[in-house]
Amino acid sequence: MKRWLVRMVMKVIAVAVALGLAAVGLLLWQLQRAVQRQWQAARAAHPHPGDDVAALLDFVRSEEHPLSERNLAVWTLGRLADPRALPVLE
């Protein structure tokens, strides 16, 4: 009787761990998609001859875009960890 209970508990734990890992994977995927969308929005809004960081910096400094979009660009700059973004991030 106890072996059956132990096996059942182990199965429940295994399922819980698998579901937890799947949830973390889904969250990371969603974050990556958000960064990608923000990068594309910044690039489309400000065609920039420089690189992506320069385009995001211009996007953040622009008063033409809503604060919510500029905040996402700031978050994206933080995730990129480029030293050129430090003046904007401080």
pTM of structure? 0.48
Total domains in the fold of the chain: 1
Q: What is the pLDDT of residues 19-70, one digit of tens each?
A: 999 999 999 999 989 888 887 877 777 666 678 888 888 888 888 888 888 8
Instruction: Find the range with the poorest average confidence among 12-16, 28-32, 41-45, 86-90.
Output: 41-45
Contacts of 89 (CB under 8 A, 6+ apart): 74, 77, 78
Q: Which domain holds residue 36?
A: 2-89
Instruction: Name the helix (H) or strand (E) containing 48.
Output: none
Q: How confident is the model at residue 90 (pLDDT cuts 50, 70, 90)?
A: confident
